[in-house]
């Protein structure tokens, strides 16, 4: 008999990526009817519809803020509407389990699931739980964590917290350095720097890379992922420099050929780099909310000896060049430290928890029919 599962999470690509990995596994290995509940216009809708892994359902949602703002009143109303919509949708779908990766859109879905008696498993990508997951954990049966320290430092001593590790896209592990070098027109005997400017907050990093290019290109070949619509056509074609808006199918090869990677400090991205043993210079968001979460992520990686950290407020062309050169000089030391990180298949652990939770839902439903 087919079981139904509902996924949720959104607001940024990082709150969707692990869901895509899990949905791909479930489609291949299990007899699941897969649905996704997200916002009407969020990035999650674009990513899920493009993947064709789940049927998408939109609900109203409002941004969760920790500070006073007039918009909090209207967003609170949107959140309440979203809870009603999610509750009705889940009552119709009758899922065996709901899985949430966080972000503001997940809260109505988690609450709606709880009100329908559906077990909820949530996952916290960052070192410190975000506001959405701090709310959602009250309604969840299990909260999976990406960082061991999240469980170790939990002041509540909550037994529902379970460390599983990072969920990594399997295809990233199969990149080819030779293919990457060939595709970019690079040479094999000069170091390669990969800059992942990303989407949100890419402008500052992009500007610094372009300002630093003359000096960078004397020592490195550079692949610069700028973000959608953020390439600069005014920069003349330079030997050893490639601009890309984004990278999908070619990303495993770009990562395989990179000697140093510059990145923001979203949990998914940095754990992918850790899994691939890539020396990294992290430039985290440091302004409020989830961006403070990036700072904590980056500090954790620096303290573990996996990365070097450059604060955005210290970001100048010279500091950027110095940081890249320093990581390259320390690359062997960083790679050796990363080898101590035990790579496990977190997706398998999470799917096992989903199976158990779904089975418990079935058992409760069965007993509830007994007179």
Cα–Cα distance, 13 to 32 (Å, whole number): 24
CB-CB contact of 66 with 132 (8 Å): no
Pair 218, 148 in one domain: no
Same domain, 214 and 187: yes
Task: Check whether 369 has a pLDDT greater than 50.
Answer: no
The answer on pLDDT for 289 being more than 60 is no
Confidence of residue 270 (pLDDT cuts 50, 70, 90): very high
Is 60 exceeded by the pLDDT of residue 303?
yes
Mean pLDDT of 324-345: 96
Residue 153: CATH number of its domain: 3.40.50.2000
The structure tokens 């839902």 sit at: 361
CA angle 63, 358, 100 (to 5 degrees): 15
* The pLDDT of residue 31 is above 80: yes
**31, 159: one domain:** yes
Q: 149 and 217, same structural domain?
A: no
Q: What is the pLDDT of residue 366?
A: 44
Q: Which two tokens stand for residue 68?
A: 């006073």
Nearest CA among 143, 146, 123 for reference residue 15: 123
**Maximum average pLDDT range among 27-31, 76-80, 103-107, 158-162:** 103-107
Structural domain count, the chain: 2
Residues 6 or more apart whose CB falls under 8 angstroms from that of 173 comprise 252, 275, 276
Say if residue 149 is in the same domain as residue 247: no
Query: 124 and 260 in one domain?
Result: no
Contact 264, 282 (CB under 8 A): yes
Residue 67, classified by CB atoms within 10 Å of its CB into exposed (0-12), middle (13-18) or buried (19+), is: exposed
Higher pLDDT, 133 or 29: 133
- Kindly state whether residues 136 and 175 are assigned to the same domain: no
β partners of residue 56: 36
Q: What are the structure tokens assigned to 286, written together?
A: 């440091």
What range defines the domain where residue 247 resides? 171-338
Give pLDDT, residue 346.
96
Question: Mean pLDDT lowest for which of 68-77, 175-184, 264-273?
Answer: 68-77
Are both 154 and 182 inside the same structural domain?
no
pLDDT at residue 242 greater than cutoff 50: yes
Work out the pLDDT band at 69, boundaries 50, 70, 90: low
Beta bridge partners of 104: none
Say what percent of the chain tops pLDDT 70: 92
Confidence band of 133 (pLDDT split at 50, 70, 90): very high
Same domain, 152 and 181: no
Q: Residue 71 — very low, low, confident or very high, per pLDDT cuts 50/70/90? A: low
Do residues 154 and 205 share a domain? Answer: no
Specify the pLDDT at position 370: 32
- Check whether residue 276 and residue 200 sit in a common domain: yes
- Residue 240 shares a structural domain with residue 327: yes
pLDDT digit string, tens, across residues 89-122: 999 999 999 999 999 899 999 999 999 999 999 9
Quote the mean pLDDT of the chain: 90
Q: Give the whole-number percent of the chain exceeding pLDDT 90.
A: 74
């Amino acid at each position: 008999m087919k079981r139904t599962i509902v996924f949720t999470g959104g607001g940024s690509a990082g709150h969707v990526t692990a869901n895509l990995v899990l949905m791909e596994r479930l489609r291949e290995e299990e007899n699941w009817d897969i649905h996704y509940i997200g916002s009407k216009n969020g990035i999650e809708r674009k990513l899920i519809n493009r993947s064709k892994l789940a049927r998408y359902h939109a609900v109203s949602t409002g941004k969760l803020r920790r500070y006073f703002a007039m918009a909090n009143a209207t967003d609170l109303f949107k959140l309440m509407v979203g809870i009603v919509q999610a509750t009705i949708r889940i009552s119709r779908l009758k899922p065996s389990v709901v899985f949430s990766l966080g972000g503001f859109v997940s809260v109505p879905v988690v609450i709606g699931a709880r009100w329908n008696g559906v077990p909820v498993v949530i996952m916290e990508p960052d070192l410190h739980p975000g506001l959405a997951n701090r709310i959602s954990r009250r309604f969840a049966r299990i909260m999976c964590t990406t960082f061991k320290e999240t469980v170790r430092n939990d002041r509540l001593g909550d037994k529902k917290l379970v460390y599983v590790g990072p969920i990594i896209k399997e295809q990233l592990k199969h990149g080819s350095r030779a293919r990457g070098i060939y595709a970019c027109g690079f040479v094999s005997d000069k170091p390669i720097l990969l800059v992942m400017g990303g989407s949100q907050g890419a402008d500052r990093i992009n500007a610094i890379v372009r300002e630093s290019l003359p000096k960078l290109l004397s020592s490195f070949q550079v692949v610069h992922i700028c973000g959608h619509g953020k390439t600069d056509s005014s920069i003349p074609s330079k030997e050893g420099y490639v601009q890309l808006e984004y990278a999908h199918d070619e990303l495993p090869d770009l990562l395989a050929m990179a000697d140093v990677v510059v990145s923001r400090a979203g949990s998914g991205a940095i754990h992918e780099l850790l899994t691939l043993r890539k020396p990294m210079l992290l430039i985290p968001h440091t302004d409020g909310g989830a961006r403070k979460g990036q700072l904590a992520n980056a500090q954790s990686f620096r303290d573990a000896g996996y990365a070097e950290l450059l604060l955005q407020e210290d970001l100048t062309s010279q500091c950027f060049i110095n940081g890249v050169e320093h990581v390259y000089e320390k690359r062997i030391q960083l790679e050796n430290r990363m080898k101590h990180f035990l790579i496990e298949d977190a997706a398998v652990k999470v799917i096992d928890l989903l199976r158990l939770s779904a089975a418990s839902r079935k058992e409760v439903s069965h007993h509830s029919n007994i007179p």
